[in-house]
């Protein structure tokens, strides 16, 4: 089978819808995308393994390996996209349309485009023996639960010396991002007539103290942790929503708060959760209510690769840009947990990701292929 060219591969990847969402009605399988990559990479001589994602029969990761041995390089991209509003698009989100020197389509920059370019870069290395493996990794559910990346960590694979995640970074290397936690505090009191407080246990009174305590915790974190590489240079804690009670003349029987916490590199998710529980749980007893603090999802750890890393230095040399810190989360901390020197470096701008009329500028394509080929040469030849 002759292998399709870059544009054909991109068209086929975009035409295979693979939305992932925590809202079940929008969530789709990614198997069609995995199947395309599997076919192309197998034709190039890669050894392909489709790895099921536990508990999700319609999702899978692909680990495609060319060559063998220790060391090597992983080129990683997620196969899923966010949901879209087709009525806000100028063209069909699932059909690549070229206009104004740009390729429009859902996933062109975030980030099926990178996967097509990684396959394109790999084409130049199939007729020579590699000293170390080149691994193209395609993951599931990055935009929702990161269950694909979590499954890789559980499986302890893949392993290589270095990993490049091609999230849209305008071809500037990224070596740091914050983590993300979304947590809930639920307070169950007892309602009763407002005229006599002893008839119930007021969940809102307890929640008021919880808010104060969390605000104090936030101040402590912000005075303790600071990293000037980030535009917002402290950890943040945002009170996102609160729901509870029903009537002014009833003792509030139930109240729930949701907040988001974005730790800096060096702050562990478990450590933060333990600290939050230790500070909040005593309010349950004090107010005679049931108080529960729980994560809304497992969270994404903060990520940092040292400025002195070999991969950071190579990426800075190849791109002419100093590695930076960004405000979005990625699968990087998971690949790093597997022992790989990890950076984020990909075509297209994060400004176009998750937007109607998402596009990849044509002038990003050849430079991406060139950079990837030089990285493969460095790590695999």
Scanning 106-114, 182-190, 237-245, 332-340 for contacts with Zn ion by CB under 5 A, the matching segment is: 106-114
Q: Which residues 149-178 are close enough to bind Zn ion by CB under 5 A?
A: 167
Instruction: Of 252, 254, 250, give the one whose Cα is nearest residue 186.
Output: 254
**134 Cβ contact partners less than 8 Å away, ≥ 6 residues apart:** 65, 66, 67, 72, 73, 75, 122, 125, 376, 379, 380
Q: Is 142 a catalytic residue?
A: yes
Q: Which of these is catalytic: 12, 56, 110, 142? A: 142
- Reply yes or no on whether 27 is catalytic: no
Distance (Å, rounded) from C-alpha 20 to C-alpha 9?
21
Question: By CB under 5 A, which span of 105-113, 179-187, 266-274, 319-327 interacts with Zn ion?
Answer: 105-113
Does 110 bind Zn ion (CB under 5 A)? Our answer is: yes
> Which is nearer to Zn ion, 167 or 183 (by Cβ)?
167
Q: Catalytic: which of 80, 110, 141, 304?
A: 80
The least distance separating Zn ion from the CB of residue 300, rounded to whole angstroms, comes to: 12
65 forms beta bridges with: 47, 135
Taking the CB of residue 376, how many other CB atoms lie within 10 A of it?
23
SS (H, E, C) 205-235: HHHHHHHHHHHHHHHHHHHHCCCCCCCCCCC
339: closest CA among 66, 60, 153? 153
Task: Give the C-alpha distances (Å, rounded to integers) separating 75 from 7, 78, 344, 360, 371.
Answer: 19, 11, 10, 19, 12
- Of all residues in the shown chain, the one whose CB is closest to Zn ion is 110
In the complex, minimum distance from the CB of residue 9 to Zn ion, in angstroms, rounded to a whole number = 18
Residues 249-288: x where in contact with Zn ion by CB under 5 A, - otherwise, as a string: ----------------------------------------
Q: State how far the Cα of 1 lies from the Cα of 284, in Å rounded to an integer.
A: 66
Nearer to Zn ion, 200 or 329 (CB): 329
**Residues 217-236 contacting Zn ion, CB under 5 A:** none
Q: Which is nearer to Zn ion, 20 or 254 (CB)?
A: 20
For residues 182 to 211, the per-residue mask of contacts with Zn ion, x marking binding by CB under 5 A and - elsewhere, is ------------------------------
Q: Which helix (H) or strand (E) holds 279?
A: helix 269-280
Q: How many residues bind Zn ion (CB under 5 A)?
A: 3
Nearer to Zn ion, 218 or 262 (CB): 262
Applying CB under 5 A, the residues found at the interface with Zn ion are 110-111, 167
Catalytic residues: 80, 142
């Amino acid at each position: 089978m002759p292998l399709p060219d870059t544009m054909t591969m991109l068209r086929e990847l975009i035409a295979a819808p693979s939305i992932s969402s925590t809202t079940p009605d929008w969530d789709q399988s990614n198997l069609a995308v995995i199947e395309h990559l599997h076919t192309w990479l197998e034709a190039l001589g890669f050894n392909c393994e489709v790895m099921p994602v536990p508990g999700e029969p319609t999702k899978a990761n692909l680990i495609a390996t060319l060559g063998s041995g220790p060391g090597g390089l992983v080129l990683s991209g997620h196969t899923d996209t966010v949901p879209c509003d087709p009525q806000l698009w100028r063209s069909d989100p699932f059909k690549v349309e070229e206009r104004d020197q740009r390729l429009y389509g859902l996933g062109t920059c975030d980030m099926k485009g990178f996967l097509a370019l990684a396959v394109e870069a790999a084409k130049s290395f199939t007729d020579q023996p590699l000293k170390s493996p080149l691994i193209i990794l395609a993951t599931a559910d990055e935009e929702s639960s990161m269950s694909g990346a979590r499954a890789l960590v559980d499986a302890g694979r893949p392993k290589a010396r270095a990993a490049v995640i091609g999230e849209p970074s305008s071809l500037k290397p990224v070596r740091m991002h914050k983590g993300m936690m979304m947590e809930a505090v639920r307070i169950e009191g007892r309602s009763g007539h407002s005229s006599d407080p002893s008839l119930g246990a007021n969940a809102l009174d307890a929640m008021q103290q919880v808010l104060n305590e969390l605000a104090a915790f936030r101040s402590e974190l912000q005075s303790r942790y600071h990293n000037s590489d980030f535009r917002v240079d402290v950890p943040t804690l945002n009170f996102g929503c609160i729901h509870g009670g029903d009537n002014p003349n009833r003792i509030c029987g139930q109240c729930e708060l949701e907040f988001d916490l974005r730790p800096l590199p060096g702050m562990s998710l478990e450590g933060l959760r333990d600290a939050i529980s230790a500070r909040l749980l005593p309010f349950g007893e004090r107010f005679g209510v049931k108080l529960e603090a729980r994560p809304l999802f497992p969270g994404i750890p903060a990520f940092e690769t040292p400025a002195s890393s070999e991969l950071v230095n190579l990426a800075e040399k190849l791109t002419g840009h100093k590695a930076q810190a960004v405000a979005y989360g990625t699968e990087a901390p998971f690949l790093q947990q597997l022992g790989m020197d990890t950076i984020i470096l990909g075509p297209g701008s994060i400004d176009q990701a998750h937007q109607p009329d998402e596009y990849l500028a044509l002038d990003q394509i050849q430079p991406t292929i060139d950079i990837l080929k030089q990285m493969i040469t460095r790590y695999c030849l």
